[in-house]
Amino acid sequence: MRVVPLSPHSPRAIRAALAARGWQEGEAATIAEGAAPAAFRIEGLSDESLEALVHFSGPLGIDVVSGDGWALLLGSRARLSALARPWTVPEALRDVAEALGLAIPPEAPRAWRTTRGDFPVAAPVIMGILNVTPDSFSDGGARSGVPESVERAASLVRDGAGIIDVGGESTRPGRTETVPVEEELRRTIPVIAALTREFPGVAVSIDTMKAAVAEKALEAGASIVNDVSGLRHGTSMASLVATSGAGVVIMHSRGGPLELASLQHASYGADLMGELLAELGAAIDGATRAGVAPEQIVVDPGFGFAKTADQNMFVADQLSALRSLGRPILVGPSRKRFLGAVTGRSVGERDAATAAACALAWERGARLFRVHDVASTRDALAVANAFGGTTSTS
């Protein structure tokens, strides 16, 4: 007899063990995913519900750690899913089962709907940053015109970018004024038009909080709107995305346009991930009420926005919690202050840390990665993806 431990860190070993014994790929993947360990925290439980939870979970093989009005559930995803069936549990657990069912992540989306059609996101997708601003925190003023911007985009594409993200307004910490619509249009629209001509196989996104800018960008050939305000500034952006069919990145942030990258709104109490998920969930609900299809939405935890260095690291570590929102996850850790706090590196020296952060984010469920240095991130993601059992990258 031989007993071989299978690492729960990745479903690859379980998937491979079943496939080697004749299981179909889809069936093996389902079993492997169900065997993955999971944990959930539940707050606000009545004494009756808590007692029922402890008694009902034991026979299912779910570990329960509990206290006054709260419980932690630990077990495989398959066993926890057995609890998340309101029609099979005692009356006192109906609400718990329903809430748990909503919190268990659905199957990861494999595509993102944009005006160019469905964009595959099963393998890593790199979004190369192209700032056409004089004052961005990392590369402000590096590109002063269309030829320079096209040259930079060509480099990003050669290095592996599948999306070029064009931004005409910096959200750097400490800025004191916003960019007028006319100036943002002057900076971005000629560049977007040139990129769509020069690189027809590459998607272009517009990084803006202004619906008027997004509209012109879409007309010029962009297919994605990257809104760092999370569609919080009025309803016109959500309506535009709905009518245009563009892909949209809804990023978590707080405060007005001049406060986004500050720490003015970085107070989350004792439940940072709970609040972040609730706020992103509300933004998704608002977008869908405006007519945006869920398939058009990608979510971004907003590294560097209304979060301290420690909070950013916590969100990065707990990133897989965002899978419960049911949408692809984009991360933008590139050269951010929290990486500097960890490494002691200056802004221009943080590309290695960025690549490491992206590889760890892939492991936790991120599928899109917004970065300045595409080459180092592509290599890190190729290795991370290969560890999971595949080797292709976008």
Spell out where 106-209 has E strands: 111-114, 117-120, 125-131, 163-167, 203-207
Characterize the bridge pairing of strands 247-251 and 297-300. parallel
Q: Which of 233, 332, 215 is nearest to 286 (CA)?
A: 233
Backbone angles phi, psi at 66, to 5 degrees: -135, 165
In whole angstroms, what is the distance from residue 388 CA to residue 174 CA? 40
Return the residue matching tokens 């718990």: 96
DSSP helix/strand/coil, 204: strand
- Please confirm, yes or no, whether 336 is among the known catalytic residues: yes
The H-assigned helical ranges of 167-295 are: 181-198, 211-220, 236-244, 272-289
DSSP helix/strand/coil, 301: coil
Distance of CA 37 to CAs 5, 86, 194, 290, 305, Å?
14, 22, 48, 36, 30
CB 123 within 8 A of CB 392: yes
In whole angstroms, what is the distance from residue 340 CA to residue 165 CA? 23
State the DSSP H helix or E strand holding residue 66, giving kind and residue range, or none if neither: strand 63-67
The CA dihedral of 372, 374, 380, 383, to the nearest 10 degrees, is 160
In whole angstroms, what is the distance from residue 345 CA to residue 335 CA? 9
In whole angstroms, what is the distance from residue 339 CA to residue 337 CA? 5
CB 191 within 8 A of CB 130: yes
CB 127 within 8 A of CB 373: no
Considering the candidates 216, 336, 367, 378, report the single residue annotated as catalytic: 336
Residues with a known catalytic role: 336, 370
